[in-house]
A and B are shown apart, each in its own frame.
Chain A
Amino acid sequence: MNDENNASELTEDEKKLFEDLMPEEMDEILDTGVNRRHFLKLMTLAGGGVLVAQSVVAEQLLIRPLSPLATEFSSATLENGVTVSFKVNGTTRKLMVDSRMTLLDTLRERLELTGSKKGCDHGQCGACTVIVNGQRVLSCLTLAASCEGKRVQTVEGLAQGDTLHPMQAAFLKHDGFQCGFCTPGQLCSAVALMDEAKNGHASYVTETVRKQAGPVQLSNEEIRERMSGNLCRCGAYPNIVAAIQEVHSGKPVEQTFRFSA
């Protein structure tokens, strides 16, 4: 790993700061440098005022860039390393991963794409939904090693620069979220769903599956059924359905939320 240089760049004062505040993390910090988790912990402590005494040292540390994420592993450091190359949001990424690494962890921990969320990590919530080769899948149940040559699209790849994807704009307009944790998965799922409808896919609530005549117009009931793999603990479902219906039908949908009087 290439982080030892960064670790050795810590000054004696900074080392003492970490030693005082997070002694249990010290070995790791010396070994691999300051990572995002350490940084967040430091921020939490700062928020709580614990840092006041060491404020000058801490301030210097907080304005320094974090260690670059370790994207380089070799077969010497990984027991079962697999080299894999795939496109993420249009850019080819080649890296060596532990065979156990899921696509979700690879996106989040190795490629700095933290939009895809780890909700349950067991394929039950849909928060990790990404689009692989045009199809929505669960990145928590996909091994990164199995993605060789594939095209991965994440929530970060939906917007064109500062122009939101129509689905993102519709989610904003219809308030299709509260805490937002499920939103990246909802968006990826909904975007891929639009293609499934264009391709005439059926669902369990489709009245007659034997009819197959091109693109299908989805009722709200159809949207609910087809989005059932994406849970929202805040219960923003009516607004999510409204947002998806607006993009799908191309016509404005009345906002379903109401402000209390």
Chain B
Amino acid sequence: MRPFTYTRAKDPSSAINQLAGNPNAKFLAGGTNLLDLMKEDIERPDELVDITELGLSDIKVIAAGPRKGGISIGGLGKNTDAANHALIRQNYPLLTQSILAGASGQIRNMATNGGNLLQRTRCPYFYEVSMPCNKREPGSGCGALEGINRMHAIFGWTEKCVAVYPSDMAIALAALDAVVKVRNASGQERIIPFADFHRLPGDKPEQDTNLAHGELITALELPKNNFADRSYYLKVRDRASYAFALVSVAAALEISNTTIVQARIAMGGVAHKPWRALKAEKMLIGKEATAANFKLAADAEMAEAKPLEHNRFKVELGNRSIVLALEMAMNGGKA
């Protein structure tokens, strides 16, 4: 690991200012991804600002504003605490399931809610510094495009990058229309809608998100919804546990009698960002909640998939996963 200076920030504004003064500085929160990448010589900060003592870990009902009655989750709270908080388990079980589908007990005890969103891809060509990777080394090429790309994207990729985004938690947040609250060096707060937080690779795969350097994630906010009775996070992976998704689906339905009033479907393991299945959602509104309609919706979404050489299976897998996740949601989200 390369040398870096380490400081413990005492309050959010001094942490943000410290980062603003050094383009090579990074915040250190849970460190579960950052330290690993530093050991691999992929991340090379010369300064770490430890933000774990800043607080910013409350989980509370939002009292006013556009998301009134929704919930605010502190950016520096731990994943374990978010997943097990009574308010979240009761009102956003989809979020609980998605967090618990990721990593291991130890890692969820360390990882923060804001940091979870900033995980970098686990593409092996990104991790292997002897291989070309436009995300790690802009302009060097993409090793995965013509390489072993079984784990890679089927939506939204470009020739610059076919990597997928690894977080499970973020897939549920995308489905639940969360927003990300961030604070910058001038003390201003801004709200980033979840769909705009992560980026597709385009010509700049080195840029995972639209977060600017020095901006601190202070909270994630979820609007109130009526999905708690019918939601499910389905994760399909090579091992039963402690593995990244081949395909995952966060599904949530609001039903009136037998008719679908609202539908949310987001997919993980298929794109450079959480993939909202908007076509499938649109197909379902006003329809009966039947397996046949779920299949039509899945067909509509997956028709747009562009698989690579080794991940053709993800198209059929994604199709069936959408149907199964919706059926599990209809069954009350039971595991």
A residues touching B (Cβ–Cβ < 8 Å)? 79-80, 82, 99-100, 102, 121-123, 126, 129, 135-138, 141-143, 145-146, 148, 189, 192-193, 196, 199-210, 212, 224-230
B3 within 8 A of A: yes
B residues touching A (Cβ–Cβ < 8 Å)? 1, 3-6, 8, 28, 31-32, 35-36, 39-40, 48, 50, 52, 80, 83-84, 86, 89-90, 93, 96-97, 100-101, 103-107, 109-110, 228, 235, 239-242, 332-335
The CA of A200 and the CA of B213, in the complex, are separated in Å by 38
A-B contact count (CB 8 A): 124
Find out whether the CB atom of B241 lies under 8 angstroms from the CB atom of A204.
yes
Find out whether the CB atom of B110 lies under 8 angstroms from the CB atom of A137.
yes
The 9 closest A-B pairs by CB, nearest first: A229-B104, A228-B241, A99-B6, A228-B242, A204-B100, A135-B109, A100-B1, A209-B96, A204-B101
Find out whether the CB atom of B4 lies under 8 angstroms from the CB atom of A80.
yes
Give chain B nearest CB distance to A70 CB in angstroms: 19
Chain B residues positioned under 8 Å from A126 (CB to CB): 104, 106
Chain B residues positioned under 8 Å from A123 (CB to CB): 32, 36, 107
Find out whether the CB atom of B241 lies under 8 angstroms from the CB atom of A210.
no
Query: Which residue of A82, A102, A199, A209 contacts B97 across the interface (Cβ within 8 Å)?
Result: A209
Query: Which residue of A82, A143, A146, A229 contacts B105 across the interface (Cβ within 8 Å)?
Result: A229
Chain A residues positioned under 8 Å from B86 (CB to CB): 212
Find out whether the CB atom of A138 lies under 8 angstroms from the CB atom of B32.
yes
Give chain B nearest CB distance to A151 CB in angstroms: 14
Find out whether the CB atom of B335 lies under 8 angstroms from the CB atom of A204.
yes
Give chain A nearest CB distance to B169 CB in angstroms: 12
Q: List 4 extra interface pairs beyond A189-B105, A208-B335, CB under 8 A.
A: A82-B6, A102-B35, A136-B106, A212-B86
Main secondary structure of the interface of B (DSSP, over half): mixed
Give chain B nearest CB distance to A183 CB in angstroms: 16
Chain A residues positioned under 8 Å from B334 (CB to CB): 207-208
Query: Which residue of A102, A204, A229 contacts B106 across the interface (Cβ within 8 Å)?
Result: A229
Chain B residues positioned under 8 Å from A192 (CB to CB): 105
The CA of A145 and the CA of B35, in the complex, are separated in Å by 13
Chain A residues positioned under 8 Å from B89 (CB to CB): 202, 209-210, 212
Find out whether the CB atom of B105 lies under 8 angstroms from the CB atom of A145.
no
Query: Of all chain B residues, which has the CB nearest A100?
Result: B1
Find out whether the CB atom of B5 lies under 8 angstroms from the CB atom of A99.
yes
The CA of A205 and the CA of B100, in the complex, are separated in Å by 9
Query: Of all chain A residues, which has the CB nearest B98?
Result: A204
Find out whether the CB atom of A137 lies under 8 angstroms from the CB atom of B96.
no
Find out whether the CB atom of A196 lies under 8 angstroms from the CB atom of B28.
no
Find out whether the CB atom of B335 lies under 8 angstroms from the CB atom of A141.
no
Chain A residues positioned under 8 Å from B241 (CB to CB): 204, 224-225, 228
Query: Which residue of B4, B83, B103, B110 contacts A99 across the interface (Cβ within 8 Å)?
Result: B4
Give chain B nearest CB distance to A131 CB in angstroms: 10
Query: Which residue of B31, B101, B109 contacts A146 across the interface (Cβ within 8 Å)?
Result: B31
Query: Of all chain A residues, which has the CB nearest B242?
Result: A228
